Structure 1
Amino acid sequence: MTTETLTMNETCGCPEGRGLSRRTLMRRLAAGGALGATLTVLEGFSPAARFAFAAEPASYAGDVLVVLSLRGGFDGLNAIVPAGDPAYATARPTIGVPTSRLIGADGIFGLHPGLAPLEPFWKAGTFGAVHAVGQPNPTRSHFQAMEELERAAPGSSLRTGWLDRTVGTRADAGAFQAVQAGSSAIPASLRGPNPEMALDSVKSFAISGAWDDGERARWTTALRAMAVPGAPAPIADPARAALAAAGTTAALAAKTYQPSGEASYPDTHLGKALRDVAQLIKAGIGLQVATVDEGDWDMHAGMGQAAKGGWMYDHLHDLAAALAAFATDLKSDSKRDFFSRVTLVTLSEFGRRVGENGSGGVDHGHGNAVLLLGGGVNGGKVHGRWPGLADEDLVDGDLAGATDYRLVLGEILTARCGASSLGDVFPGLTGDALGVVRPRS
């Protein structure tokens, strides 16, 4: 149920919608996409209306995979700092992080002090990193790098996204199987024939264009008419799925969500999106894959020092605070330890140059750090082969991408998400597991 949301005020002067678009619904009907769901809802999608949740989602024994895209080019060298490499301080004389400020230093690597909210998870072994990760065919173009990163099929003619292909290897689990949270724009990683859904937030989710009670009633009536018993499945199933998605989110939004334990989500875009992901996970409505975006990592100038008020410091602290709240919320639930069945991984289109520029920032580079958080993560350490920062070890001034990022994702899929083979997801991928996660018991 792709939600390529139609901006209504750009086409007909109506208010902008948020959720399931007419274009998407009609495309799904035309394509015959079948999403099995049985929820019906009274006119208006009122939170007070009586309705039944969708049928039990298809059985899935793997972790919920959360992919957090740090868009703009995350500076892994100043996040997971290779302070033990003597070339680091030389290359970054003004923006480098002093060894005395590092968290969890192990002789080679240490965490930027902005990541302090995640220190308890680092010590507990549920937060870790992989360094010097890269793409087989690097580019310094934001668009091209992200496109290839999310397609994840270099040297092939595939044009689908790697997460769409992942979902395509599994049984259909309903409307919430794959969700983009915090944005109505579907990422390229979910591009393809398999259904997915995007929502700016649980509270705001609705059928795009149904901007008032009258329109909601009209669309509800139309969808129910398409979903009547005996209607052709290519028409009835997507209509039922649309009703299910709107009704289920209405039910969730009707209750004030209370994070578990001492979890306190920051009032940021990322904090709100991860809070929604946690709510969807706990609701047990079939979520298997969630994608979330966080931007503003393109720090060409004014990155700042490793202290509050610096651009990098503040961004890392906001990131860490949101991730720490998410992990605390999932592991502190009184009914179940959800954290043990969730793996979160960060990706960015490329890293930054090793040497700082004259504007107190760093330009587009190559090798980068990937962050991992979850109950099954083999954390408290930095994985991967470190190629070094000496001039002779660099690739055109960049940290080498010594580890193909798909090896990290592939290990998560096989060890934590139940994938038996990666051929359909990452064609042609070869290489040994890094030990970034523990096999699921």
Structure 2
Amino acid sequence: MTDHAHSHDSGCSEYQDLSRRQFLATSATLSAAAVVYPDWLPRVTLANHYSATRDVMVSVFMRGGVDGLAMVIPHTEARYYSLRPTIRTPAPDSLAANRAIALDNRFAFPPAMQGLLPAYRAGDLLVMHAVGQKTNNSRSHFDAQRYMEVGKPVDPDLTTGWLGRHLASVPPVHPSPVLRGIGLASGLAKTLVGGPQTLPIADPANYGIGGSSSTRAARMNMLRSNYEGSVNPLRAAALDAVGTIDLLSRLNIGAYAPANGAVYPNSSFGRGLRSIAALIKSDIGIEAASIDIGGWDTHASQDPNGGQMATAMQGFAQALGAFWADVMDTGYPVSTVAVSEFGRNAGENGSAGTDHGRGTVMFAMGRGIAGGRVFTAGWPGLEVAQLEDRRDLRVTLDYRDVLAEIVQRRLENTNIGYVFPGWTPTFHGVTR
């Protein structure tokens, strides 16, 4: 597709089409038993013990291609300001009311991102820049998201996700878990496909079967008895769903009270993170969760200080900041990562927006994350000769390096070649 200015209400046509289809073709609700693994994937032998010491993994996908240069500003580079005459955030040392908030002597948050400052200042938020997929330069939302979620670019044979394969290659944290992985969506995100006892549940607080409450128990018993004699994977998937309905109805997530004064925004992302927090604290054996947040396909009228981009950043930062205060700052072992399929052009377009680019930002958060800093694997710079194709921030840090280190050191999974096939990661000290 050709990138050009689009209405800020709709984003590009490819992204709108992708959103409408809801990944139905590639995010089927599958149990691990239903997934066919390619022959070249290494075989994994599970340990015969349970592990209750590893972190819960929460994967946030910022769908639409995040403008990393708006979200984390290289405030000392004059080139940033000349590339973006109308969509820039004033430098931290300016007198403007909407001036940026310095994170260090190179990078800053715009005011819309201040909801994440407490986590950053506590040393629990690691900000990473010039991040992306080194071995894939697709500017198609669909292709770039798929490659990122399966953890291996340009391989049509790999249908499982990196987080699903993580779950499939470690023993559960509880001896008899009902639900190990959850995707906060109507269809299971590709990231989680292949995970055992993993379900898509758009709203865990209201998960169940319709109909009269007076006959609910009888209908649940009928479903259970009907599928008991079925063959796998149908039996396992059906009984997982029935067991999960029972479990979630007992938890009463709707009455969950966040700790530490945390206030989640009343948005789908905020409500989803609140539900994830409730599930983690209920100690039912949840090991992985995935959740999306959109609003990042900012081809026109972007405005990081008061427009579409500001609204998206504020919702993102406030919700994740509440999740940190509620869950991580109260001591729960959780690692959260937030990624996007690609960044945007370094310079603004003729519609005061940005088109599809390459390098962007990534976030990792948790007590086990070596945060309180902005990390780059070599800042590529914004001068014309430093940009990829003379228009994009270069990718110097592959997102799989970050995820692989967290998977091995925080999730206690040494099967890195299985989780990220074909990739030999470099660890950069993103964990404590």
TM-score by length of 2: 0.81
Q: How far apart in 2 are the matches of 1:177 and 1:369?
A: 29
2:51 equivalent among 53, 59, 65: 59
1:254–1:268 distance in 2 versus 1, CA, 3 Å: closer
> Which of 178, 182, 200 is the equivalent residue of 2:181?
178
For 1:254 and 1:274, how far apart are their aligned partners in 2? Answer: 12
CA distance in 1, matches of 2:141, 2:304: 25
In 2: Cα distance, 1:386 partner to 1:312 partner: 24
Q: Which residue of 1 aligns with 2:408?
A: 414
- Alpha-carbon distance in 2 for matches of 1:148, 1:113: 32
Say if 1:260 and 1:332, in contact at 8 Å, map to a contact too.
no
- Describe the shift of the 1:279–1:361 C-alpha distance in structure 2 as closer, same or farther (beyond 3 A): same
Map of 1:228-267 to 2, 5 A cutoff?
A: 234=232, 238-253=237-252, 256-267=255-266
Map 1:259-408 to 2 at 5 A. Answer: 259-306=258-305, 309-331=306-328, 333=330, 337-338=331-332, 341-384=333-376, 385-396=378-389, 397-408=391-402
Work out whether residues 29 and 238 of structure 1, in 8 Å CA contact, stay in contact via their aligned partners in 2.
no
Post-superposition offset of 1:240:
4.1
From the superposition, tell whether residues 364 and 110 of structure 1 become closer, same or farther in structure 2 (CA, over 3 Å): same
1:73 is aligned to 2:65: yes
Cα distance in 1 for partners of 2:215, 2:278 equals: 28
1:253 is displaced (CA, Å) by: 2.0
Deviation string, structure 1 residues 313-352 (Cα, Å, up to 9, x no partner): 222111111111111111465xxx21xx111111111100
**For residue 166 of structure 1, what is the aligned residue in structure 2?**
166
**Does the aligned pair in 2 maintain the 1:305–1:313 contact within 8 Å?**
yes
Contact persistence 2:253–2:278 (CA under 8 A)? no
Q: Give the Cα separation in 2 of the matches to 1:28 and 1:154.
A: 23
3-state secondary structure, aligned to 1:99 = coil
User: How far does residue 255 in structure 1 lie from its aligned partner after superposition?
Assistant: 6.5
Q: Find the aligned partners of 1:288 and 1:217 in 2 and give their Cα distance.
A: 28
Q: Which amino acid is 1:185 matched to?
A: G
Distance 1:302-1:270 versus aligned 2 partners, 3 A rule: same
Could you tell me how far apart the structure 2 residues matched to 1:29 and 1:93 are? Answer: 50
The verdict on how the C-alpha distance between 1:248 and 1:111 changes in structure 2, with shifts beyond 3 A counting, is same
Distance in 2 separating the partners of 1:31 and 1:400: 39
| Greater shift in the superposed pair: 406-415 or 154-163 | 154-163
Identity of aligned residues (%): 36
- The 8 Å contact of residues 74 and 348 in structure 1, kept in 2 or not, is answered as yes
Partner of 1:222: 222
- 2:197 and 2:366 map into 1 onto residues whose CA distance is 26
Specify the SS of the correspondent of 1:137. coil
The Cα offsets for residues 230-279 of structure 1, whole Å up to 9 and x where unpaired, read as x5784765554333201110011277111112111111111100000000
- The 1:421/1:103 distance shift into structure 2, 3 A limit, reads same
Quote the Cα distance in structure 2 between the aligned partners of 1:317 and 1:109: 18
Call closer, same or farther: CA 1:92–1:188 in 2, change over 3 Å.
same
Letter of the structure 2 residue corresponding to residue 116 of structure 1: Q
411-420 or 429-438, which moves further after superposition? Answer: 429-438
User: Which letter does structure 2 place at the counterpart of 1:111?
Assistant: F
Is the CA contact (8 Å cut-off) linking 1:388 and 1:399 kept in structure 2?
yes
> Which residue in the other structure is 2:207 paired with?
205
Deviations 1:195-225 (A, max 9, x none): 4111122221114xx4444774454132332
Aligned to 1:20: none
Q: How many residues align?
A: 379
Q: 2:422 matched to 1:428?
A: yes
Distance of aligned partners of 1:319 and 1:232 in 2 relative to their CA distance in 1, 3 Å threshold:
closer
Residue aligning to 1:153: 152
Aligned with 2:101: secondary structure? coil
The answer on whether the counterparts of 2:370 and 2:430 sit within 8 Å (CA) in structure 1 is: yes
Q: Aligned residue for 1:86? A: 78
The secondary structure found in structure 2 opposite 1:387 is coil
Corresponding residue number in structure 2 for 1:42: none
Contact 1:202 1:253 survives alignment (8 Å): no
In 1, Cα distance between the equivalents of 2:179 and 2:408?
22
Counterpart in 1 of 2:117? 119
Which whole-Å CA distance do the structure 2 matches of 1:90 and 1:392 have between them? 15
Contact conserved, 1:58 with 1:286, CA < 8 A, in 2? no
Amino acid at match of 1:322: A
- Gapped runs of 5+ residues in structure 2? 1-27, 37-48, 93-98
AA partner of residue 194 (structure 2): G
AA partner of residue 182 (structure 2): V
In structure 2, what is the equivalent of residue 190 of structure 1? 192
Post-superposition Cα deviations, 1:271-320, rounded to whole Å, max 9, x if no partner, equal 100000000000001111100011111111111152xx322222211111
Q: Which residue of 2 aligns with 1:137?
A: 136
1:236/1:392 CA distance change after superposition, 3 Å: closer
Of 246-255 and 402-411, deviating more is: 246-255
- Which letter does structure 1 place at the counterpart of 2:387? L
Q: 1:255 to 1:184 in 2, by over 3 A?
A: closer
CA–CA distance in structure 2, aligned partners of residues 271 and 98 of structure 1: 28
Structure 2 CA distance for partners of 1:275 and 1:77, relative to 1, 3 Å: same
Q: Give the C-alpha shift of residue 421 in structure 1.
A: 3.1
Q: 1:288 to 1:93 in 2, by over 3 A?
A: same
Q: What's the secondary structure of 1:206's corresponding residue?
A: coil
**Counterpart amino acid of 1:389?**
L
How far has the Cα of 1:178 moved from its partner?
0.9
